[in-house]
């Protein structure tokens, strides 16, 4: 049976006349489908009972991209360059991340997802790389160019990482559409990838379950220009098959 993969959805409020919409970009859905999973969009539920019910029916959790994480969660004051935040997403996704890691349910984090995972496990974030970190490049290159499928900088991976094995390389080009990044690493995580300027771009769990998160957007790269990312999505889905949820 194909595993159910819960994708954290966005609450889209910036429409001119429509009520808020829950959803996300098609790239996440297509990547999970291609990898053999069944994508299920999870609304940012603030009802913990409803959220837990949905979580228990999922075989794996994909923490997707989106807004900044509110710095109050990791005990920092708001920086002037902080972008938009979503209290609904923060509440729901921090719970999803904690539950998944604690219970050994596979997790794949993408962009905001690496940040949510890190904060959920006690880590912190750079709220704005250019403003807070000397010598780093602009990591919003792709966003400013409105281009998702270009190689904006290199990703350098640890040779012993799961990502390096799945991608069959320790260095590859990635897209870059973020202005925040992992600062202090959360418990149970290790840094396995950085940009050439030292910014953290990938983490993995130190335990036995599948916990992988990247700062780039592989859901926009796996078809083209870099099909090697298919291996990551397939490994994630396969990990969800190994120990399927029983309800």
Annotated catalytic residue: which of 93, 178, 219, 240?
219
217 is catalytic: yes
Fill in the DSSP letter of residue 121. Answer: T
Annotated catalytic residue: which of 139, 201, 217, 240?
217
Residue 4's pLDDT is: 98
Annotated catalytic residue: which of 88, 111, 179, 204?
111
The separation between CA 117 and the C-alpha centre of its own chain, rounded to angstroms, equals 8
φ/ψ (deg, to 5) at 156: -105, 120
> Strand 125-126 relative to strand 181-182: parallel, antiparallel, unpaired?
antiparallel
Residue 244 in this model has a pLDDT that exceeds 70: no
Residue 247 in this model has a pLDDT that exceeds 70: no
CA angle in degrees (0–180, nearest 5) for 114-117-120: 150
Question: Per DSSP, which regions of 1-134 are E strands?
Answer: 4-8, 10-12, 21-23, 38-42, 60-63, 107-110, 125-126
Predicted structure pTM score: 0.95
The separation between CA 99 and the C-alpha centre of its own chain, rounded to angstroms, equals 16
**Range of lowest pLDDT (7-16, 169-178, 237-246):** 237-246
219 is catalytic: yes
pLDDT in tens, 151-192: 899 999 999 999 999 999 999 999 999 999 999 999 999 999
> Strand 189-194 relative to strand 153-157: parallel, antiparallel, unpaired?
antiparallel
Taken in order of first residue, the domains within the chain and their CATH numbers are 4-242 (3.40.50.880)
Provide, rounded to the nearest whole percent, the portion of the chain with pLDDT above 70: 97
Place of tokens 């780093």: 136
pLDDT in tens, 204-241: 999 999 999 999 999 999 999 999 999 999 999 999 99
111 is catalytic: yes
pLDDT tier for residue 13 given thresholds of 50, 70 and 90: confident
């Amino acid at each position: 049976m194909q595993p159910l993969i819960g994708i954290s959805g966005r609450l889209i409020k910036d429409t001119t006349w429509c009520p808020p919409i829950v959803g996300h970009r098609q790239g996440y859905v297509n990547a999970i489908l291609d990898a053999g999973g069944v994508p299920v969009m999870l609304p940012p539920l603030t009802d913990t009972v409803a959220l837990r019910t949905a979580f228990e029916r999922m075989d794996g959790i994909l923490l997707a991209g989106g807004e900044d994480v509110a710095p109050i969660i990791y005990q920092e004051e708001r920086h002037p360059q902080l972008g938009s935040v979503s209290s609904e997403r923060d509440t729901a996704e921090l719970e999803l991340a904690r539950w998944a890691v604690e219970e050994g349910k596979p997790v794949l984090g993408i962009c905001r997802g690496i940040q949510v995972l890190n904060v959920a496990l006690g880590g912190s974030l750079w709220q704005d790389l250019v403003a807070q970190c000397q010598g780093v490049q602009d990591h919003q290159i792709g966003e400013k160019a409105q281009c998702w499928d270009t190689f904006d900088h290199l990703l350098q991976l640890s040779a012993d990482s799961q990502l390096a094995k799945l991608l069959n390389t320790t260095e590859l080009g990635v897209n870059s559409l973020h202005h925040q990044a992992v600062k202090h690493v959360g418990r149970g995580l290790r840094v396995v990838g950085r940009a050439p300027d030292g910014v953290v771009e990938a983490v993995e769990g130190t335990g036995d379950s599948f916990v992988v998160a990247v700062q780039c957007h592989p859901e926009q790269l796996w078809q083209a220009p870099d099909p090697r990312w298919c291996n990551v999505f397939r490994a994630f889905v396969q990990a969800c098959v190994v120990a399927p949820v029983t309800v």
